[in-house]
Amino acid sequence: MDVFLELAVILVTAKLMGYLSSRLGFPAALGQIVGGIILGPSLLDFVTYGEGVRLISDLGVVMLLFLAGLETDMEEFKRVGLPAFLIASLGVALPFVFGYTVALRWGYPHMEALFLGGVMTATSVSLTASVLMEMKRLRTRVGAAILAAAVVDDILGIMILTILVAINTKGTVYADDIAALLAEIIAFFLLSYLVGRGIVKRILKSSHRINLPETVTTVSIVVMLIFAYLAEYFQIAAITGAYLAGILVAGSDDARKITDKIITLGYAFFIPVFLVGVGAETDASVVLAAGTFALVYSLLAIVGKVIGCGIGGILSKFSPSESLQIGVGMIPRMEVGLIMANIGLSEGVLTNESFSIAIAMVMATTLVTPPLLKLAFSRG
pLDDT at 7: 96
Cα–Cα nearest to 35, from 57, 10, 53, 60? 10
Cα–Cα nearest to 329, from 55, 106, 75, 144? 144
Regions of the chain short of the pLDDT cut 70: 73, 76-77, 172-173, 282-283, 286-287, 290, 334-336, 380
Q: What is the CA radius of gyration of the chain?
A: 20
The structural domains of the chain, with segments of one domain joined by +, span 3-378
Dist. CA 32–CA 271, nearest whole Å: 10
Is the overall model pTM greater than 0.85, yes or no? Answer: no
pLDDT tens string 296-350: 999 999 999 999 999 999 999 999 999 999 999 999 886 667 777 877 888 888 8
pLDDT at 76: 67
**CATH code for residues 3-378:** 1.20.1530.20
Cα–Cα nearest to 245, from 235, 231, 233? 231
pLDDT at 234: 78
pLDDT tens string 267-287: 999 999 988 987 887 667 766
pLDDT tens string 146-175: 988 887 887 787 778 778 877 787 776 677
* The total number of residues written for the chain in this structure: 380
Dist. CA 309–CA 328, nearest whole Å: 8
pLDDT at 61: 86
Cα–Cα nearest to 301, from 134, 126, 129, 157? 157
pLDDT at 81: 77
Residues of 193-203 as b/e, b for ≥16 C-beta within 10 angstroms?
Answer: eeebeeebbeb
